[in-house]
Amino acid sequence: MGLFKSLLGGGDKSPPPRAIESPKDLRPGDMLKMEFAEQTLISGQTLKVSEQVFYDISAVENCKTVSILEGVGQRVLLSVSTVNPDRPLEVALAVLPEKVFEIFGRDQFVAIFDEPDNTDHRIHRQANVALNELQGFVGGSYFQERTNEAYRSKKDCRNEALTDADWEGFDYKLLVTDDRCHAVRIEVFDGGRTDVYLIAYLALNKVEEYWLA
């Protein structure tokens, strides 16, 4: 029987070898090298995927894979986004509240939360702010594009369907620059924890090379 299966092409088949053609294909342990970029922190750097989280953002981005990269002294988040079709590579840095207030000013940033019914918030970068490692991750002026409920999970949703219990809900806000090259993402969880990310959108070819783990 084994001979007939072999001749007819039946029997067990090994899965095809894994390849990385997009950030969506990354797994923990994989590595990549960035080309030279305006974002000085990652320009020309080699980074390694340490872990991944997955997002479901109200039918806008389902099973969005976010790879957390290490190798430059600060965690970098890499994913593919629909915000800017010409620059779909999303590179994000988490920032602390005091840095957010320094960049945008406390009053105009806090107004996003104090006036939740106002979906027309706009924030502007303060003059003469020293960006240092954030160079290339901050635009000049942002408008609020999205505010809705979203979900996050540490379980990989790419190859299996997750249950409701696998997802953690949070309030999601996205502010985008007029040229759609930068964004600020805000995630507010139960209990008040608030995570803020500065985002730069780049072309996919800004990743020069991938290596499998």
The long-range contacts involving 85-88, CB below 8 angstroms and separated by at least 24 positions, are 86/203, 87/180, 87/181, 87/201, 87/202, 87/203, 88/201, 88/203, 88/204
In the structure, what pLDDT confidence band is assigned to residue 9 with cuts at 50, 70 and 90? low
In this structure, are residues 26 and 19 in contact, taking their beta carbons and an 8 Å threshold? no
- Per DSSP bridges, beta strands 122-124 and 141-153 are antiparallel
Whether residue 41 has pLDDT greater than 50 = yes
Q: What is the dihedral of CA 190, 79, 142, 188, to 10 degrees?
A: 0
- Per DSSP bridges, beta strands 76-80 and 89-95 are antiparallel
Q: Which residues contact 179 (CB under 8 A, 6 or more apart)?
A: 139
Whether residue 6 has pLDDT greater than 50 = no
Whether residue 2 has pLDDT greater than 80 = no
* Mean pLDDT across 4-25: 71
Structure confidence at residue 17 (pLDDT): 83
**Interval 15-40: pLDDT, tens:** 678 899 999 999 999 999 999 999 99
Structure confidence at residue 120 (pLDDT): 86
In the structure, what pLDDT confidence band is assigned to residue 169 with cuts at 50, 70 and 90? very high
* Mean pLDDT across 101-128: 91
Residue 114 phi, psi (nearest 5): -75, -25
Amino acid making up residue 8: L
Structure confidence at residue 33 (pLDDT): 97
Q: What is the dihedral of CA 70, 74, 80, 85, to 10 degrees?
A: -140
**Interval 49-102: pLDDT, tens:** 999 999 998 767 889 999 999 999 899 999 999 999 999 999 999 999 899 999
* Mean pLDDT across 8-18: 65
Whether residue 8 has pLDDT greater than 70 = no
**Interval 143-165: pLDDT, tens:** 999 898 999 999 999 989 999 99
> What tokens were used for 175?
């502010």
* Cα distance between residue 208 and residue 128, in whole Å: 33
Whether residue 5 has pLDDT greater than 60 = no
* Cα distance between residue 201 and residue 184, in whole Å: 11
CA atoms in the 13 A half-sphere facing the CB of 31: 8
Q: What percent of the chain has pLDDT over 70?
A: 92
Q: Tell me the pLDDT of the chain averaged across its residues.
A: 91
Cα first-last separation, the chain: 37
